[in-house]
Structure 1
Amino acid sequence: MGMTYRQYLSGPRIYGCSNCRTHLATIESMMSRAFNGQHGRAYLFMKVVNVIEGEACERAMTTGQHTVRDIYCVKCSTTLGWKYEVAQEPSQKYKEGHYILERNLLVDVQ
């Protein structure tokens, strides 16, 4: 396996992987801070970079049934959260195509 290209972000606040500090998202891409992950507080982002997506699977969550993909850091493979593929509830459709990053797995890089 060759070298992995990583994208570097710019802006007033950059969130990175807590393990290796790889850039993941900007504050401008954040949609909400009012989410919970598997390990505590989580943020919803429109766009995330430098992640690998796992296989799609069905999960029953507090807001209903969702098809999600776990996401992993491209550099160190730390599990960071998940991507919403499909939301079954009409009120939850706004999440589709967006990402959850768990707060305790993030650091401020800038």
Structure 2
Amino acid sequence: LSEQETLHQAALAAQASRWEQIVSEKDAEIQALKAALVAEKEKETKTDAEIQALKTALAAAKEKEEEEKKLLYHLEVLKEKEEHLAKMFAKVQSEEANAPSMSKPGSL
């Protein structure tokens, strides 16, 4: 080989080596970006799961609140019935106390 051909081959080899290094660096960058993308997707999946869990907890809390409202309403109804019965009982006792009774000894 002539000296010029040898120099040309050496330049081509150097250029090929440089391109291989660039390709290797770019491949490493691509791998790092892929890893970052996977990590971001995992984070997004975790966030989605957390959002779903919060939605479920919120729905359960709303259900519980509705149940509590129903129970409070029924409690109020029962209190009103209790007050009504207490008034009726007091009225009956008052009427019994004021009415002459046939069964009382000495009432004849």
TM-score normalised to structure 2 length: 0.12
For the pair shown, which has the larger CA radius of gyration, 1 or 2? 2
| Higher helix fraction (1 or 2) | 2
TM-score normalised to structure 1 length: 0.12
| Higher strand fraction (1 or 2) | 1
Higher relative contact order (CA 8 A, sep 6+): 1
